Amino acid sequence: MDKIRYRLVYNRKRQLNRQGTALVQVEASLNKRKVYFKTNIYLRPEHWDKQAAQVCNHPQSNDLNAMLFEYILHLQAIELSFWKRGIPTTLSLLKDAIKKNSPVSITFPVFAKEYVKHSDRRQSTKDNLITTINVLQEFRPGLDFKDITYTFLKDFETYLREKGNGVNTVAKHLRQLRTLVNEAINQGYIHADAYPFRKFKIKQEKGRHEFLTPDELRKLENLEVIDKKMRHVLDAFLFCCYVGLRFSDFCQLTSSNFIRVNGKKWLHFKSIKTGIELRLPLHLLFEGKALAILDRYNIEEFSDLGCNSDVNKYLSQIADIARIRKHITYHTARHTCATLLIHQGVPITTVQKLLGHTSVKTTEIYSEILSSTIVKDLKSIKKKKNVKEFSYKNNLV
């Protein structure tokens, strides 16, 4: 591994500024390439000893020389930190490290949080990444880049399971860790040859998307709830059962999202997750039940539900009161909407457009088959068969 050479250079451009001074720089050279770093120290020509490469005949000569020496030590420390991680140091990496002004002994969680903070990802994605970083810090405080190995991933996976996390939750944390590790490789903090996920397989189960049957939905519609907050959560949940909104899209609603088309109220919004614009005819969805709920609320107050996890706790209580033995979350409303629309005979491509999916394959995940749907479809086939036989007999006559 080649080592970078450093030396101090004064007035490299051979031009003094208006104050009659010029900059002192550190020249870093490697494999016949050179880069220069500013020291922010400006001197007059008579205050620089070119042969000794140091400050001379200046009132603060000793202090300035100490500052210059410390700056070179700082550059060497950065180079050493790369060497400890097994990363071949390049002038570009050194320059990038100085530009970012990151600590030499930066830990993986500190790097990860800074990356998330300055990334252009959606806020929900950032929140998920931060959650994984916090879990990492609980598992291994002060985690170093070189510690992230295949063995570390296996240990982290075991730790997550022992904490009571399901298979898919464990998989989610590991995928988010993989995202952060890939970024660390891109930025030169981890050598590409040390990629820990190369032979590590993230295990995942096919998730069951819970939905409410028509009978269960009626139970919630007829449920008497006295608690004001619980009533608010239930009405918001029912609204999304009729409309199919995600929690994030519901919480962004304002009065401006409701427009009139031919005298009828439509919901017009842009999905936070996909960026797709949607226009939903509220009067045509589930006999306009969403409109009846809207009439009882101010829109801005209605959409102000608070934290998703708190809302899900309320929904769990509501399910218990209604004697619905299912694990209900806010997303259950979206799945219920899609499933019941398909149950009513709405084409899946139409459901796809109502939900704002870019691919019909995504919508197919929601197309659970109710037993009553099977009966209805089979009866429909039988009815068509009887009509054809009747028609055939009449033709014979």
pLDDT in tens, the chain (397 residues): 578 999 999 999 999 999 999 999 999 999 889 999 999 999 999 999 999 999 999 999 999 999 999 999 999 988 888 787 677 778 888 888 888 776 556 789 988 998 999 899 888 789 889 999 999 999 998 898 889 999 999 999 999 999 988 888 899 999 999 999 999 988 878 888 889 999 999 998 776 678 899 999 999 999 998 899 999 999 999 999 999 998 999 999 999 999 999 999 999 999 888 888 989 999 999 999 999 999 999 999 999 998 888 899 999 999 999 999 988 999 999 889 988 888 888 888 888 888 887 777 766 666 655 555 555 555 655 555 554 554 544 455 5
CA dihedral 116, 122, 123, 124 (to 10 degrees): -110
Domain range annotation of the chain? 5-100, 108-194, 214-366
CA distance 294 to 114: 42
CA distance 183 to 311: 34
CA distance 160 to 54: 56
CA distance 198 to 181: 12
Residue given tokens 């709920």 in the structure block: 293
Residues in Cβ contact with 24 at an 8 Å cutoff, skipping those fewer than 6 apart: 8, 9, 10, 39, 41, 42, 43, 48, 55, 68
Phi, psi of 270 (to 5 degrees): -110, 120
Tell me which fold the domain 108-194 belongs to: DNA polymerase; domain 1 (1.10.150)
Tell me which fold the domain 214-366 belongs to: hpI Integrase; Chain A (1.10.443)
Give the global pTM: 0.56
CA distance 100 to 110: 13
* Maximal CA-CA distance, the chain: 124
Residue 385: what pLDDT? 52
CA distance 233 to 163: 29
Residues in Cβ contact with 6 at an 8 Å cutoff, skipping those fewer than 6 apart: 26, 27, 28, 72, 75, 76
Tell me the residue type at 142: G
